[in-house]
Amino acid sequence: MTEQKQGPAPAAGAARPPEPRIAPAAAQAPEDTDWHLEIEGVTKAFGALQVLAGIDLTVLRAGTTAIVGPSGSGKTTLLRLIAGFEAPDAGRILLDGREVAGGTWVPAHRRNVGYVAQDGALFPHLSVGQNVAFGLDGARYRGRRAVAARVEELLHMVALDGSYVRRRPHELSGGQQQRIALARAMAREPEIMLLDEPFSALDAGLRVATRRAIGRVLAHAGVTTVLVTHDQAEALSFADQVAVMRGGRLVQIGNPFVVYTRPADRATAEFLGDAVILDAWLEGSLAMCSLGAIPVRRPTVQGRVQLMLRPEQIRIASDSPIHGTVLDWDYFGPESSVRIKLPERPADPRIPGGGEVITIRHWNAAMARAGMDLALKVIGEGVAFPVV
């Protein structure tokens, strides 16, 4: 249960405690950490296309890592290299400190790595029970009874009862198929589980429920998990380590709170959620912009910068020197997205910008009427990126 976070992360981001949340295991990690998976300088090309351009990634035992990136960024290829379906062109992959790719090669069926594919990849010619029993160790589970008992146990683990044993995969819903694919992969008691966008084919409600159910099973069993996804909300809510991938490289690795609130660059910021980007002038740790003076934590640049804020950091206040005019709004039910034009100002190099249009979120639709003047305040810190 410790792995579970509630709701989509971006909306709740600002409501979280300002301290970065660190996974329990990571917090206690000494120098010689218990790495379960180590990837060192891995590259892979298909013909002229460089898919992976030097990947370094380590995953703690019993940790949950999400590799998130837009489609075509190479994340599925990386997962397939870990599973052993493909071999890297260069670099090494170690499982439990043992080299499985690089100098020595261990094929997929000898790696004891669980793998759940995008659509579950259940064998259509086998029943649910036969699917789950497919990978069972024949020496350990002798006889029909032992197998049947173990299959039922595995189905219970994913919250399905024994009546599913005789069903065929095509008779099941997408979420059930995914849970059975997980039960099948758990049958061999793998120490590491690879999930390749296992929730993306499900519709929105089912996706969250299935993600929670699967996360709970894996956390309970203490299985190290690597999830590949293009859905940033899924990555942020599922994992205790998020690795952001772009163009065959990992551009940022960190816990979900850190990568969301302090992204490494503008592209990462915009990929992980909505971002308000303003021209600003940074002196020390204070950035001057159209929304006033915003604190910036550990700035790496000074002077002319681009300041990034999350929309939920900008609140409508009853009294504030900063004002804006509502242009229009989109009503979503629980919250509204409001477009606001900040006032024009005379050119001033020390406070760049003026007249920007920003989009914020607000829960009270009645507050937002076109032409209305609103007082605004900023909560928390901003992130400064060098001007490109």
Partner 1 sequence: MDPAPAPAPAASRPGGGLAAPRAARGTRSRPPLGLIAAACLVAAASLVPLGFVVAMTVATGWETAFALILRPRTGELLGNTLALMALTVPLCVLLGVGGAWLVERTALRGHRLWAVVLAAPLAIPAFVNSYAWVSAVPSLEGVLSGTLIATLSYYPLVYIPAAATLARLDPAIEQSGASLGLGPWAVFLRVVLPQLRIAISGGALLVALHLLAEYGAFAMIRFDTFTTAIMEQYRSTFNGAAANMLASVLVAACLALLLVEARVRGSARYARLGSGAQAVPTRLALGTWQAPAQAALGVVAALAVGVPLGIVGRWAAAGGPGVWQTAELGRALGSSLGLGLLGALAATAVAFPIAFLAVRYAGRLSHGLELANYVTSALPGIVVALALVTVSLRSVPGAYQTTGLLVAAYVLLFLPRALVNLRAGLSQAPKELEEAAQALGTPPLLAFTRVTLRLSAPAAAGGAALVFLAVVNELTATLLLSPIGTKTLATEFWSLSSEIDYRGAAPYAILMIALSAPMTYLLFQQSKKAAGQ
* Contact call for residues 377 and 371 (beta carbons, < 8 A): no
Choosing from 112, 127, 255, 337, the residue that interacts with partner 1 (CB under 8 A) is: 112
Rounded distance between C-alpha atoms, residue 6 and residue 2, angstroms: 11
Does 69 bind partner 1 (CB under 8 A)? Our answer is no
Determine contact, residues 10/68, Cβ cutoff 8 Å.
no
Instruction: Give yes or no for residue 41 binding partner 1 (CB under 8 A).
Output: no
- E strands, the chain, in order: 35-46, 49-60, 64-68, 90-95, 98-101, 113-116, 192-196, 224-229, 241-246, 249-254, 276-283, 286-289, 292-295, 303-309, 314-317, 322-331, 336-341, 357-362, 373-378, 383-386
Among 20, 33, 46, 331, binds partner 1 (CB under 8 A): 46
CB of 172 or CB of 307, closer to partner 1? 172
Q: Which of 124, 222, 284, 371 binds partner 1 (CB under 8 A)?
A: 124
Query: Rounded CA gap, 207 and 215, in Å?
Result: 12
Q: Is 218 in the site for partner 1 (CB under 8 A)?
A: no
Q: Residues 6 or more apart from 112 whose CB is under 8 A from it?
A: 188, 190, 191, 192
Answer for the pair 357, 340: CB distance below 8 angstroms, yes or no: yes
| 87 contacts partner 1 (rule: CB under 8 A) | yes
Q: Examine residue 103 and tell whether it contacts partner 1 (CB under 8 A).
A: yes
**By the rule CB under 8 A, 121 interacts with partner 1:** yes
Q: Is residue 280 a contact partner of residue 102, using CB atoms and an 8 Å limit?
A: no
Question: Could you say which of 113, 233, 269, 294 contacts partner 1 (CB under 8 A)?
Answer: 113
Least distance (Å) between residue 100 CB and partner 1: 10
CB of 79 to partner 1, least distance (A): 10
Q: Binding residue for partner 1 (CB under 8 A) from 117, 151, 228, 250? A: 117
Which residue type occupies 41? G
**Strand arrangement, sheet containing 64-68:** 113-116, 192-196, 224-229, 64-68, 241-246, 249-254
The contact pattern for partner 1, residues 260-279, with x = CB under 8 A and - = no contact, is: --------------------
Q: Binding-site residue total for partner 1 (CB under 8 A)?
A: 47
Residue 206: HSE in the Cβ half-sphere, 13 Å Cα cutoff: 13
List CB contacts of 72: < 8 A, sequence separation 6 or more: none
Q: Is 385 in the site for partner 1 (CB under 8 A)?
A: no
User: How is 130-166 classified by DSSP, letter by letter?
Assistant: HHHHTT--TTTS-HHHHHHHHHHHHHHHTT--GGGTT
Q: Which is nearer to partner 1, 114 or 352 (CB)?
A: 114
Site for partner 1 in 158-217 (CB under 8 A): 181, 184-185, 187-188
173 token code pair: 């819903």
Q: In 10 A of CB 132, how many CB atoms?
A: 30
Site string for partner 1, 130-159 (x = CB under 8 A): ----xx-x----------------------
- Residue from 84, 175, 263, 382 binding partner 1 (CB under 8 A): 84
Smallest separation, CB 50 to partner 1 (Å): 9
Please identify, using beta-carbon distances, which residue of 26 and 49 lies nearer to partner 1: 49
Q: Which stretch binds partner 1 (CB under 8 A): 78-86, 284-292, 312-320, 334-342?
A: 78-86
Using CB under 8 A as the criterion, which residues of the chain lie in contact with partner 1 when the complex forms? Answer: 44-49, 51, 76, 80, 83-91, 101-105, 107-115, 117-119, 121, 123-125, 134-135, 137, 181, 184-185, 187-188
